[in-house]
Structure 1
Amino acid sequence: MSIRLIRALVPAALAVATTLGVAPPARAALGGAPMATPSGAVAKTVSPVARAASSTNASSVSVSANYTVKETTSSSGTVVREYVGTDGNVFGITWRGPFMPDLSALLGTYFPQYKSAVEAQRSQRKGRGPVAVEQSGLVVHSLGHMGAFFGQAYLPAALPSGVSADDIR
């Protein structure tokens, strides 16, 4: 099945799913406010993952209070984590689960930039494979196969003080 055909069928499938009472995929927009929790999904705020400090004391741990993490699990089992700065805007997103989330919704206004980078990358190589977009204003890593998708997207310039790309996981 071609990508064009799949893209053409997605809106119709979402309309049917909504009619049948199945929740649409989670929606968030990188650089904007966190998503509203979709019907049938479960959302919670989780503590940022602690990182070991760079000292020799292995028990030293530092946690940044410069952001919160909102984790939303859709009814399909896909988990989206939004990294939200103190300004209320999402600076990073991760996903994992049996279904690929709608990247146009997750990336918001950054989606055209991502799409152009992916098209340029794919024109340089044959076949499919992991996607790695690493630009000064946008970083996206995405990989997986049917039933197991993983990814990360963040805005390097929007990372809060003391937060690194390694914190977005």
Structure 2
Amino acid sequence: MMSNRIMRAAACAALTCSMLGVAAPASAALGGSPTTPPTGAVSTSLEPVAHVASGAASATSSTSTASYTVTQTTFSSGTVVREYVSTAGVVFGIAWSGPVMPNLPVLLGTYFSQFDSARNTLRAAHPGRGPLDIELPGLVVRSGGHMGAFGGQAYLPSALPAGVSATDIR
């Protein structure tokens, strides 16, 4: 006969595992093509973001072109991942927020090993917990929060479309 304490611990472990599994899949890998959202996630395309072409003389003669699109995927856990895709179809930025951290190896794709190495070096120099602010020549990752409220962004500086800045990735 199991005690209430053991049953509660088992239930807590099962809940934790299921929560981690819910947010594990992500919608795209940085630097790659967008992928189909996993089962159970709700994905919507947000309005394309247009930037005014430089050199426009007035509001009436200005032209704007969509320099990227944003797809937002909401997982059943409540975590939201937004992928920023250039007109060439390449994911140049990703942002996330929600109660559960997304699976960074999936989100960062081939860039995860660079991130992981930099993270380990940073944590060795500054032990403990806290936000991450990693700026490498070809990759920027900012992540922080606490249990129940995580957020962050990752982007490829050299892949940002003309007129797009890091502050556009939110």
User: SS of the residue aligned with 2:105?
Assistant: helix
Structure 1 match to 2:83:
82
Shift of 1:135: 1.3
Q: Higher Cα Rg: structure 1 or 2?
A: 2
Q: 1:116 to 1:130 in 2, by over 3 A?
A: same
Structure 1 match to 2:106:
105
Q: 1:152 to 1:64 in 2, by over 3 A?
A: farther
Structure 1 match to 2:32:
32
Task: List 4+ stretches of structure 1 deviating above 6 A.
Answer: none
Whether the aligned pair in 2 keeps the contact of 1:64 and 1:163 (CA below 8 Å) is: no
For the residues of structure 2 that align with 1:23 and 1:114, how far apart are their CA atoms?
A: 20
Q: Which runs of 5+ in 2 are unaligned?
A: 1-12, 52-62
Structure 1 length-normalised TM: 0.77
For the residues of structure 2 that align with 1:105 and 1:49, how far apart are their CA atoms?
A: 25
Which segment is superposed worse, 142-151 or 26-35? 26-35
For the residues of structure 2 that align with 1:113 and 1:24, how far apart are their CA atoms?
A: 20
Shift of 1:27: 3.8
For the residues of structure 2 that align with 1:126 and 1:64, how far apart are their CA atoms?
A: 46
Q: As a proportion of its length, which structure holds more strand?
A: 2
Structure 2 match to 1:94:
95
Structure 1 match to 2:73:
72
Q: CA RMSD in A?
A: 2.6
Shift of 1:164: 0.8
Structure 2 match to 1:41:
41
Q: 1:76 to 1:117 in 2, by over 3 A?
A: same
Shift of 1:167: 0.7
For the residues of structure 1 that align with 2:77 and 2:94, how far apart are their CA atoms?
A: 18
Structure 2 match to 1:148:
149
Query: How many residues align structurally?
Result: 145
Whether the aligned pair in 1 keeps the contact of 2:50 and 2:67 (CA below 8 Å) is: no
User: SS of the residue aligned with 2:116?
Assistant: helix
User: SS of the residue aligned with 2:66?
Assistant: coil
The C-alpha deviation readout for 1:66-92, integer Å capped at 9, x for no partner, is 100000001111000000001101000
Shift of 1:47: 2.2
